[in-house]
A and B are shown apart, each in its own frame.
Chain A
């Protein structure tokens, strides 16, 4: 007779912060400070200026803090840059963050 196996779960418990979900969205980008985080790939150095140009055209008073203020979030030093993000984003009073570029 073939054996029957009682098998256990192979995963790990989620280390989620209770109640963490997306921050409340902005009513508008007018007058807001938008910060940028770049992982160093996929032409982000060209794309972010293009985004800034188009958003400035659409929204009065919008302000940008470039990705060069935060360190590259990818690559060997990326972990350090990501770890410092919360404090740095507060330092620059960011209302929103655009993080890229994924593939």
Chain B
């Protein structure tokens, strides 16, 4: 509804005293509200658009890129020209018809279809055999649980896409050193696809519908090191999300900020975890304080294989780690009150229904309360350099939605297709892919 009236307040509300805010509401905002509710806006006619499969331009590589950039369909990097022939090659790797609607994405209210997944996959530089992953990603994007419509928010949240299952090796995802670095086609091009799709189909554009303060670039797709997991009898993250070991699964999780804990190794597993717990609070507490959405936070923690092995030797499973973090990643009520004097105490927030009751078990300001709502709110992924003792925390912000996982459906002849595709691929250095 492009003609929906909007009333505004001058400046930023966070920088205004109560008196300034009152004055701006009385003198500016309310006038805008009255006009919005009583003056009929002029109806905006939507321009006629091409349809799926329409040819919109003919030109050289440079001309195509200039055209797509001018139309707002490019992310600023050169795209692969999406010809119909190229897109049709992607369709071979899905059982779904091209016109299958996977969902309707906001803010543009446009249909996400198998066809436009293929077109944007071409543009991003994906290989056709990545199509099953791309389809699963968009299914997850379109799931209301994830809340993709909030991705245009101020923090400029970018998403972490995690892959589990044998498809990691089928498509040569990197899951070792540099697991989140560009340079490996599957990890990199699929990560780029995510943001291109948000632009072209969901409709998030900077200076228009994408309100990110700074924003950030799309994230390289993360693949979990399932060899390392098998070595220590830990389950993949996909199992925590409700699937079975061996299922091909994609999980998307909003990840507003990241923090790398360097050299957290210790000879006692508990010491490793306590270091992590301390930093988790530091990284998440501001989100907790400004949103009061502790129960909505879903931090994702990336642990290297050698740290995972050390924790396993100390008797820890992923479940025990989550429980330990729930009990130890805590902050004092006093610290919250220092950050949010405008809210009052945690007990005030509980009385107003903003937090669950266990945040006010007493009025003691030194009591410790958890950073998340339950142990299951932590996501744990094993990946990265096998020999380094670093941890990456992916801090969620609780304003979007929840981590969402989808099965990656493969066509019947997948094994044959992959064998054919491999014959066409120029070999990559195997030491970069990830070994345990």
**Contact: A21 with B43, CB < 8 Å?**
yes
**Contact: A51 with B25, CB < 8 Å?**
yes
Decide if B150 is an interface residue (CB 8 Å cutoff): yes
Within 8 A of B (CB), among A1-44: 2-16, 20-22, 24-29, 34, 40-43
**Contact: B55 with A7, CB < 8 Å?**
yes
Within 8 A of A (CB), among B121-159: 123, 144-145, 147, 150, 153-154
**Contact: A51 with B33, CB < 8 Å?**
yes
Q: Report B-chain residues with C-beta under 8 Å of the C-beta of A54.
A: 25-26, 30
**Contact: B52 with A9, CB < 8 Å?**
yes
The A interface, classified by DSSP as helix, strand, loop or mixed, is loop
Q: Report B-chain residues with C-beta under 8 Å of the C-beta of A101.
A: 13
**Contact: B30 with A8, CB < 8 Å?**
no
- What's the least CB distance linking A21 to chain B, in Å? 5
**Contact: A22 with B58, CB < 8 Å?**
no
**Contact: A50 with B61, CB < 8 Å?**
no
User: Out of A7, A12, A29, A50, which one reaches B64, CB within 8 Å?
Assistant: A7
- What's the least CB distance linking B110 to chain A, in Å? 4
- What's the least CB distance linking B309 to chain A, in Å? 34
**Contact: A8 with B83, CB < 8 Å?**
yes
**Contact: B111 with A98, CB < 8 Å?**
no
Q: Report A-chain residues with C-beta under 8 Å of the C-beta of B196.
A: 10
Q: Report B-chain residues with C-beta under 8 Å of the C-beta of A24.
A: 40
User: Out of B30, B147, B154, which one reaches A79, CB within 8 Å?
Assistant: B147
User: Out of B34, B64, B110, which one reaches A11, CB within 8 Å?
Assistant: B110
Complex Cα gap A16–B41 (Å): 19
Within 8 A of B (CB), among A49-63: 50-51, 54-55, 58
Decide if A86 is an interface residue (CB 8 Å cutoff): no
Q: Scan A51-95; emit 1 where CB is below 8 A from any B CB, else 0.
A: 100110010000000000000001111110001000000000000
Complex Cα gap A78–B105 (Å): 16
**Contact: B55 with A12, CB < 8 Å?**
no
**Contact: B147 with A78, CB < 8 Å?**
yes
- What's the least CB distance linking A90 to chain B, in Å? 18
Chain B interface residue count, Cβ-Cβ cutoff 8 angstroms: 76
Complex Cα gap A103–B13 (Å): 9
Decide if B175 is an interface residue (CB 8 Å cutoff): no
- What's the least CB distance linking B84 to chain A, in Å? 5
Decide if B211 is an interface residue (CB 8 Å cutoff): yes
**Contact: A10 with B30, CB < 8 Å?**
no
**Contact: A10 with B40, CB < 8 Å?**
no
**Contact: A22 with B55, CB < 8 Å?**
no
* Contact size range, A: 35 or more
With A8-B84, A50-B22 known as contacts, the answer to whether A22 contacts B1 (CB < 8 A) is: yes
Q: Report A-chain residues with C-beta under 8 Å of the C-beta of B4.
A: 22
Within 8 A of A (CB), among B5-27: 5-6, 9, 13-14, 18, 21-22, 25-26
Complex Cα gap A29–B402 (Å): 39
Decide if B167 is an interface residue (CB 8 Å cutoff): no
**Contact: A29 with B110, CB < 8 Å?**
no
Complex Cα gap A47–B6 (Å): 15
With A13-B110, A42-B13, A101-B13 known as contacts, the answer to whether A25 contacts B53 (CB < 8 A) is: no
Complex Cα gap A22–B43 (Å): 8
User: Out of A8, A41, A55, which one reaches B82, CB within 8 Å?
Assistant: A8
User: Out of B5, B46, B116, B293, which one reaches A75, CB within 8 Å?
Assistant: B293
Decide if B390 is an interface residue (CB 8 Å cutoff): no
Q: Report A-chain residues with C-beta under 8 Å of the C-beta of B113.
A: 12
User: Out of A6, A10, A14, which one reaches B108, CB within 8 Å?
Assistant: A14
Decide if B81 is an interface residue (CB 8 Å cutoff): yes
With A47-B25, A78-B150 known as contacts, the answer to whether A29 contacts B108 (CB < 8 A) is: no
**What 6 additional pairs, Cβ within 8 angstroms, besides A21-B3, A78-B401?**
A11-B73, A11-B201, A12-B108, A29-B37, A43-B13, A77-B296
Residues of B within 8 A of A (CB): 1, 3-6, 9, 13-14, 18, 21-22, 25-26, 29-30, 33-34, 37-41, 43, 46, 49-61, 64, 67-68, 73, 81-84, 87, 104-105, 108-113, 116, 119-120, 123, 144-145, 147, 150, 153-154, 196, 200-201, 211, 291, 293, 296, 398-402
Enumerate 7 A-B pairs (CB-CB under 8 Å) in ascending A order.
Answer: A4-B58, A10-B68, A11-B116, A12-B108, A51-B29, A78-B147, A102-B211
